């Protein structure tokens, strides 16, 4: 019998990138929880349902990437797709890996053939994909794409200052994404070169955001929530994450739950609920030992 769950909403051909990423986030959160709950008892019905959802999402997101003409959107879907498969596939699926590699290569080729400078948000989205692309196979030091990634991160670190961060012209969501990418590079490649600047940038922008949460965009609040729980260069801050989430939830009251923005907010709610329930499960298991 098929398992029905409010966090497992089947994707549609007409779904936006924002909605697909939200559906992926909910699937990942629920899969993690179902994995912890099942323990050593094998694949539960809920886990199996999450895996089916993951497979459907992979197909939907791959098609969206192939039909989109926006490099930033394609890269954000590629990054989310990488997270989805990493979290919900027991082992590397060769077909999925080949499809991801092909899509990533085509999108990156387009980006590096652009004649005009790309917008900062597009550059950040490309860096997400490059981090994932090179994670299991760091290229030679003279690889052009690898050099672009390292040079971009170095330029961000060098440009940051404690007075105005990366400048008032850079939107808060873009600044938080830079912090996230620098942090990902730090722990994915075990390179602490930028950690000092990274911690300063984290403090600067989380303080800026937390002092004025109501003025933050939905995307900035999602980034803030994620950063607060990520750790690595800083201690996880559940209080800050919960404040960002509650701000999103208050906005969600005014939205249709079926809207793209409604799904975006629901995806962060799902993440928080599943994290909390996982912690309770682990605590109960530890207490019983």
Predicted confidence band at 143 (pLDDT cuts at 50, 70, 90)?
very high
For position 95, what pLDDT does the model report? 94
pLDDT (tens digit per residue) in 1-19: 567 899 999 999 899 999 9
Domains and CATH numbers, the chain: 15-117 (1.20.58), 149-255 (no CATH)
Mean pLDDT score, 137-150: 92
Looking at residue 229, what DSSP letter applies? H
Mean pLDDT score, 78-107: 94
Tell me if residue 165 falls in helix, strand or coil: strand
Mean pLDDT score, 93-98: 93
| DSSP run (H or E) holding 149 | helix 144-159
For position 2, what pLDDT does the model report? 63
Mean pLDDT score, 120-126: 97
Tell me if residue 254 falls in helix, strand or coil: coil
Q: What are phi and psi of 161, to 5 degrees?
A: -140, 160
pLDDT (tens digit per residue) in 27-72: 999 999 998 888 757 678 999 999 999 999 999 999 999 999 999 9
Task: State the Cα–Cα distance between residues 29 and 222, nearest whole angstrom.
Answer: 15
Mean pLDDT score, 212-225: 97
Task: State the Cα–Cα distance between residues 226 and 236, nearest whole angstrom.
Answer: 10
Q: What percentage of the chain has pLDDT greater than the value 70? A: 98
User: Distance from CA of residue 88 to its chain's centroid?
Assistant: 15
Q: Judge whether 202 and 250 are in contact, CB under 8 Å.
A: no
Task: State the Cα–Cα distance between residues 186 and 188, nearest whole angstrom.
Answer: 6
Average pLDDT, the chain: 94
Looking at residue 14, what DSSP letter applies? T
Q: Say if residue 214's pLDDT is above 80.
A: yes
For position 40, what pLDDT does the model report? 58
Question: In the block, which residue shows the tokens 């249709």?
Answer: 256
For position 38, what pLDDT does the model report? 80
Q: Judge whether 17 and 77 are in contact, CB under 8 Å.
A: yes
Task: Supply 247's token pair.
Answer: 């701000």
For position 44, what pLDDT does the model report? 87
Task: State the Cα–Cα distance between residues 238 and 221, nearest whole angstrom.
Answer: 14
């Amino acid at each position: 019998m098929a398992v029905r769950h409010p966090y497992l909403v089947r994707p549609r051909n007409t779904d936006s990138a924002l909605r697909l990423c939200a559906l992926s986030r909910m699937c990942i959160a629920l899969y993690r929880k179902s994995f912890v709950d099942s323990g050593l008892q094998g694949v539960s019905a809920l886990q199996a349902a999450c895996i089916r959802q993951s497979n459907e999402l992979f197909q939907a997101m791959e098609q969206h990437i192939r039909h989109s003409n926006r490099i930033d959107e394609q890269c954000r879907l590629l990054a989310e797709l990488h997270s989805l498969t990493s979290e919900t596939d027991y082992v590397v699926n060769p077909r999925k890996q080949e499809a991801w590699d092909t899509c990533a290569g085509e999108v990156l080729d387009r980006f590096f053939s652009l004649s005009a400078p790309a917008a900062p948000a597009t550059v950040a989205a490309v860096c997400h994909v490059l981090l994932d692309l090179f994670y299991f196979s760091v290229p030679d030091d003279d690889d052009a794409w690898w050099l672009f990634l390292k040079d971009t991160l170095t330029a961000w670190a060098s440009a940051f200052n404690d007075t105005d961060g990366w400048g008032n012209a850079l939107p808060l969501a873009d600044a938080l994404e830079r912090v996230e990418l620098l942090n990902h590079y730090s722990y994915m490649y075990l390179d602490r070169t930028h950690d000092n600047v990274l911690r300063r940038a984290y403090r600067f922008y989380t303080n800026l955001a937390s002092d004025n949460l109501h003025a933050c965009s939905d995307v900035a609040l999602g980034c803030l929530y994620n950063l607060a729980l990520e750790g690595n260069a800083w201690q996880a801050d559940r209080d800050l994450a919960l404040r960002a989430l509650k701000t999103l939830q208050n906005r969600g009251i005014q939205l249709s739950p079926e809207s793209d923005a409604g799904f975006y907010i629901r995806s962060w709610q799902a993440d928080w609920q599943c994290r909390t329930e996982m912690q309770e499960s682990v605590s109960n298991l530890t207490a019983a030992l």
